Amino acid sequence: MVGNIKQLESKVITSPEAKDASIQVLVSPNEGWDSHVMRVLEVKQEGYTPKHSHPWPHINYIIEGEGELMIDGEINKVNAGSYAYVPSDTLHQFRNVGKGVFKFICIVPKEGHK
């Protein structure tokens, strides 16, 4: 399986706790990865993802831009090349603190993608 992100649908994150964030699904059970989902999130300047926690972990890799990742109250500066592991049941949030777009890969177990 080979694809191009430019050909994928982008869905706006509609949570009232998010601002200017969208998501694209790259690989999921539909493409043959039965246990996980690989997504790319894009957060526009001054935008953020919802502050939330859930019973599954996730792995992140920053593709572009500058941001902050809050994990359990601790603010971590991240930029292109940074990676992170967010444990299960841990409050977290991504914020774009740069001048352009902030993009990152997020891999979750399939139950973590709705």
What integer pLDDT is reported at residue 43 of this predicted model? 99
Q: What is the 3-state composition of the chain as percent helix, strand, coil, each rounded to the nearest 5?
A: 10, 55, 40
Q: Dihedrals φ, ψ of 30, to 5°?
A: -60, -30
The CATH class of the 8-103 domain is mainly beta
- Mean pLDDT, rounded, for 36-43: 97
Q: Tell me: the pLDDT tens digits for 64-81?
A: 999 999 999 999 999 999
Domain edges within the chain: 8-103
Q: Tell me: the pLDDT tens digits for 15-35?
A: 999 999 999 999 999 999 999
**24: how many CB neighbours lie within 10 A of its CB?**
17
Is residue 114 pLDDT above 80, yes or no? no
What integer pLDDT is reported at residue 111 of this predicted model? 86
Of the two residues 102 and 114, the one the predictor is more confident about is 102
What integer pLDDT is reported at residue 44 of this predicted model? 98
The Cα 45–Cα 68 span in angstroms is 12
CA neighbours closer than 13 Å in the CB half-sphere of residue 47: 21
Q: Dihedrals φ, ψ of 94, to 5°?
A: -105, 140
Helix, coil or strand: residue 33: coil
Q: How confident is the model at residue 12 (pLDDT cuts 50, 70, 90)?
A: very high
**47: how many CB neighbours lie within 10 A of its CB?**
19
Is residue 51 pLDDT above 90, yes or no? yes
What is the model's pTM?
0.93
| The two three-digit tokens of residue 32, written as one number | 């043959």
